[in-house]
Amino acid sequence: MRDVGLRLMAGLVLTLIVAVAGCTPVATPGARLPEAASSSQSPEDVIAAYWRAVATDDQAAMDALKSDYMLEQEEIFSKSRPAQTEPGQQVIDPDTIRVATTTPADALNLASRPERYADYFAVRNGSVTYTIVEGNEFEPAGESIKFITVVKATADSPWRVEEIGTGP
């Protein structure tokens, strides 16, 4: 009888430990910063915040604004490419960042995209222009434009940067 009581007590203690541990907020390595992109930010706000992070070389802020897909692709790419020297760092003038009004992706646009886009609650296309003060071998100094796709996984989720490209 004593063994049953000890087992019951040990089970209760273990259950209590698991319950308390499950309710304790713990920072996950690589977790997104909640202040970086709230669900109330517009797609244009997210694009502007992302590009300010690019201009200030704030990798944590950039990562917090990327979609899961974009983060996964960067992880795969970083593991598959050979080590190489980075080109000279671009210097972007943050005061020149201009984000155009985004537009919803229409059926024709979505049909030309990968299947994963069908899973998103919303997809919007936009662009950002900025001035590169110091260029590198890939982009010279001067005005530049990038086309950006932002996505929302659910109605309540924040907008995230899904793709960045040089053409619409």
The residues near 44 (Cβ < 8 Å, ≥ 6 apart) are 99, 100, 101, 102, 126
Please check whether residue 59 lies inside any domain of the structure: yes
Please check whether residue 27 lies inside any domain of the structure: no
Residue 7: pLDDT band (50, 70, 90) is very low
Please check whether residue 122 lies inside any domain of the structure: yes
pLDDT of amino acid 81: 61
What are the tokens at 27?
């920072």
Please check whether residue 32 lies inside any domain of the structure: no
What are 45-103's pLDDT values in tens digits? 999 999 999 999 899 999 999 999 999 998 888 776 655 545 556 688 999 999 999 99
Q: Which domain holds residue 47?
A: 39-80+87-165
Please check whether residue 9 lies inside any domain of the structure: no
- Tell me, letter by letter, the H, E, C secondary structure of 27-48: CCCCCCCCCCCCCCCCHHHHHH
- Here the CATH number for the domain that contains residue 65 is 3.10.450
What are 122-168's pLDDT values in tens digits? 999 999 999 998 888 788 899 999 999 999 999 999 999 999 998 76
Helices (H) and strands (E) in the chain, counts: 5, 5
